[in-house]
Amino acid sequence: MYQADPHRYDTMPYRRCGRSGLLLPAVSLGLWHNFGDNAPYENMRALCRTAFDQGITHFDLADNYGPAPGAAERNFGRILREDFRPHRDELIISTKAGYLMWEGPYGDWGSRKHLLAGLDKSLQRMGLDYVDIFYHHRMDPATPLEETMEALAQAVRSGKALYVGLSNYDGPTLERAAAILDELHCPFVICQNRYSLFDRKIEENGLKESVGKVSRGLITFSPLAQGRLTDRYLHGIPADSRIRTDGRYLKEKDITPEVVAKIRALNEVAARRGQTLAEMALAWLLAQPVVTSVLIGASRPEQILDNIRAVENTAFAPEELAEIDAICAGQ
């Protein structure tokens, strides 16, 4: 029987989601491509145990995470039953709906029909009565925003979600959605978007500014740019890289000589700070006031232990930030 570390809350910082009462750990665990049917169950179990023992209380999923879609939720549901059931009230479990999950006109996007059916299926796969955060996974250009937001509000009213979030939204749509959810008295607390030193899209599409304007939390995924913001690619592509073994997300064309030069320059900045490149990349995100938490992925428990060291130093001198920005811009 799993016994949680009694000191698990000693060192992890917890941050408030905007103006809500919800606190998230500075580092959260994403259960994405390492929790599918092709992953060893005992390794998945070890990842979750290691995370919780280090104070990571937030486990982030989506109905389409796998492979195959639904597999991550099923596997996590088994881990919940076997290890974490006594700790349910210590956990923040989030999931999402909005990508293709079943055939026909109702298996995708952001209709009320799709979102509420998707949430029911997620709860069944995980063996839960409710999730803590239920997200709409992506903007739907065809469904009225009011319909999608009303579906999120219904998820809360039904007791199947405590809070709601929006994922992959831009700034203007976020502000419209927040106004609708406020009118519905729905506890919308957080946005989830891709953000890293190498991916500044939310600075360009208004999302980062809007999150602060509407006082919501922000949790960032792919903070290490699919592994590029680590020491793995300092000298080219290693033989055991996911590029060689998987190739679904990071591709060989993403590791250009220009990118490698940036990685090396950033690694030098990190070394001067006494951090690894991965630690500095996570710390850079956590140094920003709008960021509530960073979502890490891991294939080995040791990676979790390495990444959480980022919380030990999230202070940057202005000249460090300027140098980092110049490197990332290729100047």
Question: What's 28's domain CATH number?
Answer: 3.20.20.100
pLDDT at res. 244: 58
Number of residues assigned to the chain: 331
- In a domain, residue 8? The reply is no
Cα–Cα nearest to 119, from 105, 140, 101: 101
pLDDT at res. 254: 77
Contact 325, 287 (CB under 8 A): no
- In a domain, residue 263? The reply is no
Contact 269, 327 (CB under 8 A): yes
- In a domain, residue 166? The reply is yes
Q: Is 151 exposed, middle or buried (0-12, 13-18, 19+ CB in 10 A)?
A: buried
pLDDT at res. 253: 76
* pTM for this entry: 0.96
Domain of residue 98 covers: 14-235+275-316
Q: Is 103 exposed, middle or buried (0-12, 13-18, 19+ CB in 10 A)?
A: exposed
The domain total for the chain is 1
- In a domain, residue 146? The reply is yes
Instruction: Tell me the CA distances in angstroms from 187 to 150, 160, 166, 289, 294, one per residue in order.
Output: 12, 13, 12, 21, 21
End-to-end CA distance of the chain: 54
pLDDT at res. 92: 98
pLDDT at res. 252: 72
- In a domain, residue 119? The reply is yes
Rounded distance between C-alpha atoms, residue 77 and residue 45, angstroms:
11
- In a domain, residue 162? The reply is yes
Q: Is 14 exposed, middle or buried (0-12, 13-18, 19+ CB in 10 A)?
A: middle
CB within 8 Å of 205: residues ≥ 6 apart = 170, 171
pLDDT at res. 79: 98
**Helical axes 171-183 vs 145-157, angle rounded to 10°:** 50
Weakly modelled stretches of the chain, pLDDT under 50: none
Q: Is 166 exposed, middle or buried (0-12, 13-18, 19+ CB in 10 A)?
A: buried
- In a domain, residue 26? The reply is yes
pLDDT at res. 235: 78
- In a domain, residue 219? The reply is yes
Whether residue 68 has a cis bond before it, omega within 30° of 0: yes
